[in-house]
Structure 1
Amino acid sequence: MDNVLAYSKIGETIGSLFFGWFGDTYGRKPSYIISLSLLITGRAISLITSHSYTFFVTGCIIAAFPSTFALQSISLISIEISSPKRRSQIAKYRLIASSFGMCLMPLLYWWLRDWKTFLIVTTVTQLPYLIFSWKIIESPEWLWVNKKPKKCIRQLRHIARVNNASLEKDTENKILSESHTTGNEEALGPLELFSSRRLAINTFLQLCLWVSVTVSYIVSLLSSGEKSDGNPFLEFTWQALIEVPAHFSAAWLVEQLGRRYTSAASSGFTCILWMILGLRELDVFSWLNQGYIGTIIGIVNRFSITIAYYTINLLNMELYPTRLRQSGMSLGNIVSGGAAAVAPYILYVGHRHGVYVSSGILGAVSLLGLLAALFLPETSNMELPETLEEAQQFGNQPQEL
């Protein structure tokens, strides 16, 4: 099983590199369709050839290859057709849906009690999305930036028709006349994320934030599970449910405080909670050793980490121009995957040398997230960068800390 997980991670990493470039070069819609097709195909191979280890692993790798981009491609289309004020709402709905899915997953497996049946059920439910994927629109913003003004207008007309409105003639003429001034860049790749000092700083800071959030999230998830003496299926469900109100709170906070301050505050609060958990083992304050105190701290910590996770997902979509947005997200996924692989070892260090040691490491990592968030540019209610040049300058304007 460990080898299967390792091979799947390798497939996920390669897939992140490929689909990040593919989605920015050929569009969000084909990226979604191919991702979902590979996911279903890989699972089907694993089911049919479960008697053969080699073919079973091959199916797992194929399914893992596009594992993050079926959902992210749709999220990008939603973000790119939304006004700046609604971007945080799009992220909120996506993450809340994911949390509810996590709630249902252990309950479904608890009921079925068979991995093949579970895999069949969760794969068959994806088929309608693939069958009707032709109805999905392409991002008009991506079409415009990539010099496809006529297709962009057709998509905008469709959106207007669905909303019982019409696309103004002046808007069509403006799209056609300005199309020659945009999309003049050659095909961009992941290296363009570091093509200027400002863009490289933004990329580095958001990757630091990804590491901070992912490590805290995975350790919180693993440590909660191992301390549970109850039903593991229900325990997983309760943990996922905690995230739902956290997403609502995060959506409100990013609009009131902005992305930077929300992320910095949640990272700082998480840092404090990790320190408190370390003090419990040192017996500095006897009242901290009460069992219910540890439970409360764990719940509040998961709540705080979820807010930070929400914010970095939003920032990751907003920092990059249209032609680099999916590449930026893929780089975040790769770094996040690496951080997730390291997280269990931090938990192991705590078991081996004392919880205060792992708490100190996690506190330092959370502090890194706080500092990274403070020096990122604010994106709340701002126009997303459309070109590489705009992204290279985004954040150069003085911003208050």
Structure 2
Amino acid sequence: MAEDVITHLVGDFGPWQRRVLFLSWLVGFSVAFHNLAVSFFMPNIDHWCSRPPFLSNISYDLWKNLTIPIEEIRGQVRYSQCQMYELGDEDNYLLNYLNMTELPATVINRSVSCASWDYDRSLYKGTIVEKWNLVCEREALRSLMQTSYMVGFLVGSIVFGTISDRFGRRTTALLSILISIIAGISAALSPYYWLFLLMRFIVALGVAGLANSGFVLVIEVCGPTKRSTVAVIKELGFAVGLMVLAGLAYLWRDWFPLQLTISIFPLITFVLYYWFLPESPRWLLTRNRIADAEKILHKAALLNNTSAPNVSSDRREILNNHKRAGPANLIVHTVVDLLRTPNLRKISLNMFFCWFINAFVYYGLSLGVVDLDGNPYLNVFISGLMEIPAYVLTIFVLHQWGRQYPLCFFMVIGGISCSIMPAVPQDMDVVKVVLAMFGKFCITSSFEIVYIYGAELYPTTIRNMGIGCSCMCARVGSAVAPLVRYLGVVLDPNVPPAVYGSLAVTSGLLVLLLPETKNRSLPETLEDGENFGRKERSSSENPQKKIKAPTQRNKDTSVED
């Protein structure tokens, strides 16, 4: 691999990299806003059959006491949310019962489904649940809303990953922001449920493209010794964005102004990106755009105050080296390149599984935050606040012990914590809560590490594609998590933590098969990626053995194991 161009010419981390980090940090706000706003759009709010117009002046309590049956669900006694007593069609028929303490048996035995609903507005002024009556027989449409967004994020990870590797990180980021803004505003103005569903799907496409391109860009402009720190700092934007989202939701308490706010906010990011965000010089070099890369590196060197007399000659020498290797870099790569050769295939499959498990366990443990006892706005705020210590710990751990062993440790320890939960007696609920929170703390750290680790393992020519495919696997994991959680309802509450724990431990141990990337230059080409972490092991095992690295597209060449 060639010497790290960014580190050699502009330094590991200076004012230029800090500017890019701040701009990428803003991405976390949009990701948190759109990914988790659905918790406030579709909360579990109490509802019951609505009063007829001629009885709109009586209280809800009197109405429910007279007309709503009592039912017991999982040990909870409450008014029915989907049924009411059939009290007759004539107005006076119901008025005869207003002064009674209880209804006659002939009335109680006749129940019908609600034709319309009233909703509890003590916490929320307006939700899409109320707007389109997504309750009772239509409640499945709420799950479809969440699933469509996750599918959009999954598709966006692949589509925009390919676009980013072909057209650049900056171009992809700007395009993604525009898509999310237009689709987000259109979603707020949608008069129909299905149109809102479609617009949310398109929003997810844009958010996925913005998240992936922003992350890869900040990784590519920083030197090896600073990549872990800046990657974690960038992800702090998600935690802060989650806390800001809770504040905005509390301020508006209505889905419509909240959707407009989170859709218009990226306009700030777009303006800043357009004027101040550079293209990745590393990507420009792989596309043989030498002049563009040199222009950006020259500005970066001046901003970082590294424009010493020898910088110009060094820059020219390194750029010329890339230029001489230019024709191979103009090849358009596909997803197949992630799996074409043995070492990259091992890295890719391991990363795919690791991302899937991290998202699967994280969302599995995080489900139902707004449904916990207490104020839902405060619960979401605290959940974002709790992620900050995990990120801070991750920075320290990455600097001290690298990527491989910390990722293995957090996944195994977090998995063991989840696996212990089924063995805890039923009367020790506090212990179960502590184990679940500790498991989530560990998986938050491992989720952050796998982002950094994956970005460093993939070569530059397919890095965004690799991250996109890995993110796709994560989205599948987050979509599967609610289904496993449902098994706890129909089978046994101990099933989900047992599944989370066993899979987390398995994935954590498989990480040991990957190479360490701490303080190492990023692989640039497919050949670099195939040799990454493999050449050293092969040489140490047999000094006489040489690795024949594959060319970019020569299918006849093979790698000797």
Letter matched to residue 121 of structure 1: T
Match of residue 153 from structure 1? 294
Deviation at 1:223, TM superposition (A): 5.7
Residue 76 of structure 1 corresponds to 216
Counterpart residue identity of residue 347, structure 1: R
Q: What letter corresponds to residue 360 of structure 2 in structure 1?
A: V
CA change 1:272–1:13 in 2 (3 A) is closer
Match of 1:23 in 2: 164
- Say yes or no: does 1:251 pair with 2:395: yes
**Structure 1 residues 299 and 357, CA, compared in 2 at 3 Å: closer, same or farther?**
closer
1:203-282 equivalences under 5 Å are 203-222=348-367, 226=371, 228-281=372-425
* Map of 2:504 onto structure 1: 366
Q: Take 2:268 and 2:494, find their aligned partners in 1: how far apart are those partners?
A: 49
- The structural deviation recorded for 1:120 is 1.5
Please report how far the alpha carbon of residue 352 of structure 1 lies from its aligned counterpart in structure 2 after TM superposition: 2.4
Q: Which protein is richer in helix relative to its size?
A: 1
Q: Which amino acid aligns with 2:398?
A: V
Shift of 1:158: 1.2
TM-score (norm. length: structure 1): 0.93
Structure 1 or 2, whichever has the larger Rg, is 2
Aligned CA distance change for structure 1 residues 4 and 290 (closer, same or farther; 3 Å):
closer
CA RMSD of aligned residues (A): 1.9
CA distance in structure 2 between the partners assigned to 1:188 and 1:210 by the alignment: 22
Q: SS at 1:68's partner residue?
A: helix
Which whole-Å deviations, capped at 9, do the CAs of 1:299-334 have from their partners, x for residues lacking one?
Answer: 222211111101111112111111111101110111
Give identity over the alignment, percent. Answer: 24
Q: CA contact under 8 A between 2:370 and 2:377: conserved in structure 1?
A: no
**8 Å contact 2:394–2:445 — kept in the other structure?**
yes
**2:154 aligned residue:** 13
- Extract unaligned runs of 5+ from structure 1: 284-288
Shift of 1:360: 2.0
Q: Deviations over 1:203-244 (max 9, x none)?
A: 011111112211110111016555x22112211221221110
- Partner Cα separation in structure 1 for residue 194 and residue 366 of structure 2: 31
Q: Distance in 1 between matches of 2:327 and 2:499?
A: 45
What is the aligned counterpart of 2:537 among 377, 398, 401?
Answer: 398
Deviation at 1:126? 1.2
Opposite residue 361 of structure 1, the aligned amino acid is V
Q: Is the 8 A contact 1:267 1:370 kept in 2?
A: yes
- Equivalent pair of 1:242/1:302 in contact (CA under 8 Å): no
Q: Does 1:38 align with 2:175?
A: no
Corresponding residue for residue 299 of structure 1: 437
Say whether residues 1:173 and 2:279 are aligned partners.
Answer: no
**Mapping for residues 281-296 of structure 1, pairs under 5 Å:** 281=425, 289-296=427-434
Kept after mapping to 2: 8 A contact 1:260/1:377:
yes
Q: Normalized against structure 2, the TM-score is what?
A: 0.67
* Higher RCO, Cα 8 Å, sep 6+: 1
CA contact (8 A) 2:184 2:199 kept: yes
Which string of whole-angstrom CA distances, capped at 9 and with x for unpartnered residues, describes residues 111-146 of structure 1?
Answer: 211111111212222112212322210001111111
Could you tell me which amino acid in structure 2 is paired with residue 395 of structure 1?
G
Give the secondary-structure state (helix, strand or coil) at the position aligned to 2:246.
Answer: helix
Matches within 5 A, 1:100-139: 100-135=240-275, 136-139=277-280
SS of the residue 1:332 aligns to: helix
Give the deviation of 1:104 after TM superposition.
Answer: 1.9
Q: In 1, Cα distance between the equivalents of 2:413 and 2:327?
A: 42
Whole-angstrom distance in 1 between the partners of 2:433 and 2:369:
9
